[in-house]
Amino acid sequence: MVDKLRRSVEDLEAPECENCKVAMKWHSSQLLRTTGKILHRFFCPNCSRISEVVKDPAASSDGQPPIKHSLPRFVVASEDSCAA
């Protein structure tokens, strides 16, 4: 569980404060037990405004499912490739 939180924080980009237009600083993270998502809290160093970002660790950053990098153990050669 701790590794899941740590990896989630490493991938985060700090949001911008709506008042000051300054990058906010990370404050804390919490695993939401009901959904399995992670809640990150940020604060503005200028105006102390709090912002919350919910991230789903199962989803990738671009919204696409993760790519599987595995290959089949055996590749069957076609007749066309043997004739060349």
- Region for 47 from its dihedrals, namely left if φ exceeds 0, alpha if ψ lies in -120 to 50, beta otherwise: alpha
Q: Kind of pairing, strands 50-55 and 38-43?
A: antiparallel
In the chain, the number of structural domains is 1
Mean pLDDT over 62-77 rounds to: 54
Segments forming the whole domain that contains residue 16: 2-60
- CATH number, domain with residue 33: 2.20.25
pLDDT computed for residue 65 by the predictor: 54
Within a domain: 75: no
Q: Hey, what long-range contacts does 3-7 have (CB within 8 A, 24 or more apart)?
A: 4/31, 4/38, 4/57, 5/29, 5/31, 5/38, 7/57
Within a domain: 66: no
What pLDDT digit, counting tens, does each position of 37-63 carry?
888 899 999 998 999 988 887 765 555
